[in-house]
């Protein structure tokens, strides 16, 4: 009954939470001018929540808490086993420490997360406000987007699992009569394969009609459901009254009650019930992280219901084995069947429709629990427009998304995947060149001549692959294929990657580069240096000179180090040992070694420091050095333990010393406390036998070698100090004060002014030595004794 989501899902959620919590702290705003948030004076603790609910909850968006709610499939007894990559999240793991927000699982397997509200920001003094959120908010939105997307995808996978419910499929299969079944499974027509496809399409159409009769759409949507929310709408709390369970899902599908989404999911179940390879397709609509507006403009709220929900979130795909293509069916919303070639009817068009339904992540969930991103099929301008709005627009985001897809994809690769991939590649080819400047910026396939970077150059003889008219046809810009671009680097930059120039390599480009800053700051600025750039083809892998054979001497640079920026820079017969103690170990063994510079640290002015990542030693010394490191680490550990023991003994010493001094005083001058009198005067006299060992003028402590004293002492606590104690027979306590001092104190005591003066005379450093039995020969600390508590 466990909800076995991959840990990285939760890490992500924690990250979002952490990001939000970080916002609560006060921090300087980077942007000076910001728009005041109108709602800043409302509820001091509004909750922010993502609601992913499988039921058609009637929650309205406004004024609801923000909660992530994942209804797991666990209540149906099905195990959700998502693959765990085991690898680290793309972000540093320490990012996830000290998470304080509540992330709780209740017994029913519902994960609920409460995200603290984002901080409202004050308006700057500037008269003109920029409607852009801060950088922190930008990051928060990114994480929020990811968490939201993750929840949606997991939700899709769970619903897809429900669709495979055997009871549901058994009952639905009765709706399909034999004729219809045969239509859905046509014979292969060798002469005219299209005829088979035709039959299949007919069958699907009939299924759709049948389903429309079966299904009574009670209401379309009561809230925003799975449609995209604006950032303002994610602030408000969302009430989650109902959560759908698998049983409830099955019941509703069989009854034919529910909204469009449920109807489509039911339709997929219907097709699967007669063994059609049908996919549930879901277009995930997390809030748009590329929308950086602090506030939505008021006009954008004026979207009509029909426009907002015109295009579906869920639809269906059926595999046509004759044409080797997926057929798209939207049985409830647009009620269409299509074979997507260059554009789909399901792709939202128009500004108002895109406000609530921005096609970015379309995932296909098949009957074998496969999960694929099939956005390519439906987005006609995937490379130029859609790509920019996806979290995959950055490398870490892309990595994360791949991991999520991979975790949800729980089947082996099939031929169908190959065909689909081929189709997607073809679509990429066919997409063509964008017809405006904006879409050509950062386009994965095309590049404008003016957008070629300073360290890039076109391949020789490469021709432009198209033209772009700008300025109403008054100007024509050349467009090149990105494949024809070559990245260039200077010799030094190549060296940092472990590559050196080949003999006879030629300069591809020469750029002007202002000289180092340090020099320009001293006054000789304006000097420019030429930087020669080379392509990767003009370089080869750097092979460091080998260590000399018997003694293992390694060639070092002017600073006595060896540069190991990449692993390939280690000499072939050497090894890099990455340990902070490696240098010590190599020194100790007196073998040849070189400190390895793995990079540089830039901070504080213009200074940079090399980062020593360990030592490089010849391979035949590695074993010795590693064991020496082990030894060093072990001895460090021992030292650490000894230090702890010493500290403990010292603490005991202080305690005992205080006790003994007190009892000695009590014995010598009588009990001060009202409840007793001094005893054991004889013992005290005995204990002063060893005072010759001490130089301290006023007293000291000699640890007791006898075992029974050690047994007796550890039960004491500070509170015991005020009790009358038995001085130890062999105790090492010595009042090392001179006789005269003691007598003078005694004298005072007899006159009845005990406390103040006697303390003064004893308010001296006490020295004691360690017991040989406990551990080694170390010097005891000097401790100033404080007797003030004995005044009482």
Partner DNA sequence: CTGGAAGATCTATCTTTGTCCGAA
Partner DNA sequence: CTTCGGACTTTGATAGATCTTCCA
The contact set with DNA (CB under 7 A) reads 30-33, 128, 130-132, 135, 290, 292-293, 351, 436-438, 441-442, 453-454, 470-472, 475, 490, 492-493, 496, 514, 516-517, 520-521, 557, 559, 561, 563, 597, 600, 602-610
Name the strand (E) or helix (H) holding 146.
helix 135-163
- In the complex, what is the shortest distance from the CB of residue 127 to DNA, in angstroms, rounded to a whole number? 11
CB 258, CB 94: distance < 8 Å: no
State which residue, 101 or 451, has the beta carbon closest to DNA.
Answer: 451
- Describe the strand order of the beta sheet including 509-514 as a list of residue ranges: 456-458, 485-490, 528-535, 509-514
**Minimum CB distance to DNA smaller for 631 or for 697:** 631
Tokens of 1: 């009954």
- What gap in Å lies between CA 445 and CA 434, rounded to an integer? 10
Q: With respect to DNA, which residue has the nearer C-beta, 127 or 711?
A: 127
User: Which residue, 32 or 174, is less far from DNA as judged by CB?
Assistant: 32
Using the minimum distance from each CB to DNA, give the nearer residue, 67 or 586.
Answer: 586
CB within 8 Å of 693: residues ≥ 6 apart: 700, 702, 734, 769
Three-state secondary-structure class, residue 270: helix
Q: Indicate the helix (H) or strand (E) that contains 328.
A: strand 325-330
Of 194 and 351, the one with the shorter C-beta distance to DNA is 351
Are the beta carbons of 600 and 610 closer than 8 angstroms? yes
Return the number of the residue (372 or 595) whose C-beta is nearest DNA: 595
The distance of closest approach from Cβ of residue 503 to DNA in the complex, given in angstroms and rounded to an integer, is 23
3-state helix, strand, coil in the chain (%, to 5): 40, 20, 40
Nearer to DNA, 198 or 556 (CB): 556
- Cβ-proximal residues to 703 (8 Å cutoff; 6+ apart), any chain: 653, 732, 768, 769, 770, 771, 774
Stated as kind and residue range, the H or E segment containing 685 is helix 681-687
* Of 201, 341, 207, 349, nearest in space to 264 by CA: 207
- Closest approach, Cβ 563 to DNA, in A, equals 5
218 vs 509, which CB is nearer to DNA? 509
* Strands 765-768 and 783-784, sheet pairing: antiparallel
Q: Which is nearer to DNA, 9 or 443 (CB)?
A: 443
Q: How far apart are CA 419 and CA 206, in angstroms?
A: 27
Per DSSP, 225 falls in state: T
CA distance 481 to 441: 13
Q: Report the distance separating Cα 565 and Cα 788, nearest Å.
A: 62
Output the smallest distance, CB 490 to DNA, in A.
7
Which CB, 385 or 757, lies closer to DNA? 385
Whichever of 73 and 594 has its CB closer to DNA, that residue is 594
CA-CA distance, 25 to 41, in Å (whole number)?
18
Q: How far is the CB of 476 from DNA (least distance, A)?
A: 11
Q: Going along 400-462, which residue ranges are E strands?
A: 446-448, 456-458
DSSP 601: E
- Give the nearest distance from C-beta 703 to DNA in angstroms: 25
CB 461, CB 480: distance < 8 Å: no
Residue 514 or residue 673: which is nearer to DNA going by CB?
A: 514
Contact 698, 738 (CB under 8 A): no
Phi-psi region of 258 (alpha: psi -120 to 50; beta: other; left: phi over 0): left
- Residue 226 vs residues 124, 191, 287, 347: alpha-carbon distances, Å: 36, 45, 11, 16
3-state secondary structure of 591: coil
Q: Output 470 or 689, the one with its CB closest to DNA.
A: 470
DSSP 481-544: EGGGEEEEEEHHHHHHTTEEEPTT----EEEEEEPPHHHHHTT-TT-EEEEEEEEGGGEEE--P
CB of 652 to DNA, least distance (A): 24
Following DSSP, what letter does each residue of 332-364 receive, concatenated? Answer: TTT-EEE--SS--TTS--SHHHHHH----EEEE
Nearer to DNA, 414 or 557 (CB): 557
Smallest separation, CB 494 to DNA (Å): 10
Among residues 667, 772, 786, the alpha carbon closest in space to that of 727 is found at 667
> Which C-beta is closer to DNA: that of 496 or that of 764?
496
Strand order across the beta sheet in which 371-373 lies: 336-338, 325-330, 314-320, 278-284, 361-365, 371-373
389 and 288 Cβ atoms separated by less than 8 Å: yes
Would you say 356 or 749 has its CB closer to DNA?
Answer: 356
**How many whole angstroms separate alpha carbon 332 and alpha carbon 752?**
103
Minimum distance from residue 438 beta carbon to DNA (Å) = 4
We find the least distance from the C-beta atom of residue 597 to DNA, in angstroms, to be 4
């Amino acid at each position: 009954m466990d909800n076995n989501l991959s840990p990285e899902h939760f890490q992500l959620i924690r990250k979002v939470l952490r990001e939000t919590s970080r916002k609560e702290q006060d921090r300087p705003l980077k942007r000076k001018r910001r728009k005041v948030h109108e709602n800043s004076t409302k509820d001091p603790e509004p909750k922010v929540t993502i609601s992913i609910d499988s039921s058609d909850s009637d929650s309205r968006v406004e004024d609801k808490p923000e909660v992530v709610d994942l209804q797991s499939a666990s209540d149906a007894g099905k195990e959700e086993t998502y693959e765990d990559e085991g690898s680290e999240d793309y972000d540093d793991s320490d990012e996830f420490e000290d998470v304080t927000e509540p992330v709780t699982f209740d017994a029913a397997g519902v994960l609920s997360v409460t995200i603290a509200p984002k901080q409202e920001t004050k308006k700057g003094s500037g008269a003109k406000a920029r409607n852009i959120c801060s950088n922190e908010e930008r990051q928060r939105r990114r994480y929020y987007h990811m968490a939201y997307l993750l929840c949606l995808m997991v939700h899709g996978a769970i619903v897809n699992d429900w669709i495979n419910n055997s009871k549901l499929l058994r009952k639905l299969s009765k709706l399909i009569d034999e004729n219809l079944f045969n239509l859905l499974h046509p014979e292969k027509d060798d002469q005219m394969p299209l005829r088979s496809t035709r039959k299949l399409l007919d069958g699907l159409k009939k299924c759709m009609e049948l389903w429309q009769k079966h299904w009574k759409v009670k209401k379309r949507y009561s809230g925003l459901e799975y449609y995209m929310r604006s950032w303002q709408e994610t602030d408000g709390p969302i009430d989650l009254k109902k959560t759908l369970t698998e049983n409830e899902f099955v019941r509703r599908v069989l009854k034919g009650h529910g909204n469009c989404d449920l109807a489509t999911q039911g339709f997929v179940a219907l097709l699967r019930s007669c063994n059609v390879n049908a996919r549930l397709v879901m277009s995930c609509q997390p809030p748009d992280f590329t929308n950086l507006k602090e506030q939505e403009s008021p006009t954008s709220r004026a979207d009509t219901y029909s426009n907002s929900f015109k295009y579906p979130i869920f639809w269906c795909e059926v595999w046509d084995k004759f044409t080797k293509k997926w057929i798209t069916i939207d049985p409830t919303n647009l009620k269409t069947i299509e074979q997507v070639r260059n554009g789909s009817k399901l792709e939202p068009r128009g500004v108002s429709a895109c406000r609530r339904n921005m096609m970015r992540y379309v995932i296909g969930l098949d009957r074998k629990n496969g999960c694929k991103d099939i956005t390519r099929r439906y987005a006609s301008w995937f490379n130029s427009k859609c790509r920019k709005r996806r979290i995959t627009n950055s490398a870490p985001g892309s990595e994360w998304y791949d991991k999520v897809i991979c975790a949800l994809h729980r089947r082996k690769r099939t031929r169908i995947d190959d065909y689909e991939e081929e189709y997607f590649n073809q679509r990429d080819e066919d997409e063509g060149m964008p017809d405006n400047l904006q879409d050509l910026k950062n386009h994965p396939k095309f590049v404008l001549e003016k957008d070629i970077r300073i360290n890039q150059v076109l391949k020789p003889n490469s021709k432009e692959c198209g033209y772009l008219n700008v300025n109403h046809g008054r100007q024509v810009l050349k467009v090149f294929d990105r494949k024809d671009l070559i990245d260039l680097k200077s010799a030094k930059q190549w060296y940092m990657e472990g590559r050196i120039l080949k003999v006879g390599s030629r300069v591809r480009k020469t750029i002007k580069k202002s000289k180092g800053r340090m020099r320009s700051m001293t006054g000789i600025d304006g000097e420019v240096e030429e930087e020669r750039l080379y392509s990767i083809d003009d370089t080869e892998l750097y092979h460091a000179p080998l260590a000399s054979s018997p003694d293992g001497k390694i060639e070092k640079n002017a600073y006595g180090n060896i540069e190991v920026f990449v692993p390939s820079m280690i000499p072939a017969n050497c090894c890099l040992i990455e340990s902070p103690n490696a240098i010590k170990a190599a020194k100790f063994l007196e073998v040849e070694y070189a400190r390895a510079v793995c990079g540089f640290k830039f901070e504080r002015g213009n200074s940079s420091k090399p980062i020593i990542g360990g030592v490089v030693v010849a391979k035949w010394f590695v074993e010795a050095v590693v064991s020496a490191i082990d030894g060093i680490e072990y001895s460090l550990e021992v030292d650490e333990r000894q230090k702890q023991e010493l500290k403990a003994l010292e603490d005991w010493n202080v305690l005992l010393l205080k006790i003994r001094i007190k009892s000695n005083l009590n014995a010598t001058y009588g009990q001060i406390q009202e409840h007793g009198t001094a005893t054991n005067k004889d013992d005290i006299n005995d204990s002063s036998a060893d005072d010759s060992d001490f130089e301290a003028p006023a007293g000291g402590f000699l640890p007791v070698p006898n075992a029974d004293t050690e047994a007796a002492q550890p039960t004491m606590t500070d509170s015991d100090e005020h009790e009358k104690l038995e001085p130890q027979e062999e105790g090492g306590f010595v009042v090392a004060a001179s006789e005269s001092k003691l007598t003078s104190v005694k004298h005072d005591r007899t006159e009845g002014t005990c406390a103040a003066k006697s303390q003064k005379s004893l308010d001296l450093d006490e020295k004691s030595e360690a017991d040989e039995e406990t551990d080694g020969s170390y010097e005891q600390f000097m401790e100033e004794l404080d007797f003030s508590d004995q005044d009482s």
